[in-house]
């Protein structure tokens, strides 16, 4: 079963320096029908203006993943970590017992990114942060594994405390990839237009996929997609 959530239907909040669209209830956007999808709690599609960002703020007991779509974001936290994550790359933070961090766009252009929160399967873990660069070439047969907490994916991707996985990649127009999932998936059309089985997603749309173990992604234009497989 596939259910599409058009970009225009998402919760929206424009703060000037931040233009955010929420796939699930977040901050002042409250939708009792859109609180979470399994252990997936937050997906924010953010546009952060140049020379602006999130000041230091705390988190606890949450796996926080940031996928940068364009521009770059600079992370700094109370553990002493600092790093710049560029377009196409990913950073993760296990908030655990508690951490304070800031996310700032020091670039001369706006930065666009997805901020993803997943409930952890372990509470009160030691906080940690990590980031990784991923190859930018287009994918052929399957999406790249970006993030995972599964034993079989150890050392293959950025680690999170959850039996979940995030896949992503750029697909050329006319190409198809087959994606297998363990539980249920939330798909993000980051760029371009794709067809998931027989359902079309345009840029910015999201879709829930349940009751299947694999599906086909066809790029109707040059496209970029993320697939979040969560229990």
Q: Flag whether pLDDT at 183 surpasses 90.
A: yes
pTM value is 0.97
DSSP string, the chain: -EEEE-GGGSEEEE-SSEEEEESS-BTTB--TT-S-BTTEEEEEEEEE-TTEEEEEEEE-S-EEEEEEEESEEEEEETTS-EEEEETT-EEEEE-TT-EEEEEEE-SSS-EEEEEEEE--SSSSPPPEEEEE----SPPSSSPEEEEE--GGGTTTSEE-SSS-EEEEEEE-TT-EEEEE-SSEEEEEEEES-EEETTEEE-TT-EEEE-S-SEEEEEESSSEEEEEEEE-
Q: Flag whether pLDDT at 135 surpasses 90.
A: no
Q: Is 66 exposed, middle or buried (0-12, 13-18, 19+ CB in 10 A)?
A: buried
Q: For residues 103 and 68, is the Cβ–Cβ distance under 8 A?
A: no
**pLDDT category of residue 179 using cuts at 50, 70 and 90:** very high
Q: What is the pLDDT of residues 74-102, one digit of tens each?
A: 999 999 999 999 999 999 999 999 999 99
Q: For residues 92 and 115, is the Cβ–Cβ distance under 8 A?
A: no
Q: What is the pLDDT of residues 148-163, one digit of tens each?
A: 999 999 999 999 999 9
Q: What is the pLDDT of residues 10-69, one digit of tens each?
A: 999 999 999 999 999 999 999 999 999 999 999 999 999 999 999 999 999 999 999 999
Contacts of 158 (CB under 8 A, 6+ apart): 65, 90, 91, 92, 130, 131, 132, 146, 147, 148
Q: How far is CA 66 from the centre of its chain?
A: 6
| Interatomic CA distance for residues 223 and 219, integer angstroms | 6
Closest CA to 91 of 183, 12, 192, 166: 166
Name all domains of the chain by residue range, CATH numbers in brackets.
Answer: 10-132 (2.60.120.10), 144-230 (2.60.120.10)
């Amino acid at each position: 079963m596939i259910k599409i959530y058009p970009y225009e239907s998402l919760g929206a909040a424009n703060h000037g320096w931040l233009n955010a669209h929420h796939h699930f209830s977040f901050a002042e956007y409250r939708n009792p029908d859109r609180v979470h999808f399994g252990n997936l709690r937050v997906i924010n599609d953010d546009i952060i203006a140049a020379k602006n960002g999130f000041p230091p703020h705390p988190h606890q007991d949450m796996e926080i993943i940031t996928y940068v779509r364009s521009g770059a974001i600079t992370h700094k936290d109370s553990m002493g970590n600092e790093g710049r994550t560029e377009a196409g790359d990913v950073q993760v933070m296990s908030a655990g017992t508690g951490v304070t961090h800031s996310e700032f766009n020091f670039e001369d252009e706006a930065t666009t990114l997805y901020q993803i929160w997943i409930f952890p399967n372990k509470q009160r873990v030691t906080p940690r942060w990590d980031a990784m660069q991923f190859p930018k070439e287009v994918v052929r047969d399957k999406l790249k594994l970006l993030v995972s907490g599964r034993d079989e994916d150890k050392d293959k991707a950025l680690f999170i405390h959850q039996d979940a996985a995030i896949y992503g990649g750029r697909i050329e127009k006319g190409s198809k990839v087959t994606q297998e999932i363990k539980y249920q998936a939330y798909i993000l059309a980051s760029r371009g237009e794709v067809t998931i089985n027989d359902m079309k997603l345009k840029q910015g749309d999201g879709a829930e996929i349940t009751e299947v173990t694999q599906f086909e992604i066809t790029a109707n234009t040059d496209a970029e997609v993320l697939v979040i497989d969560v229990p």
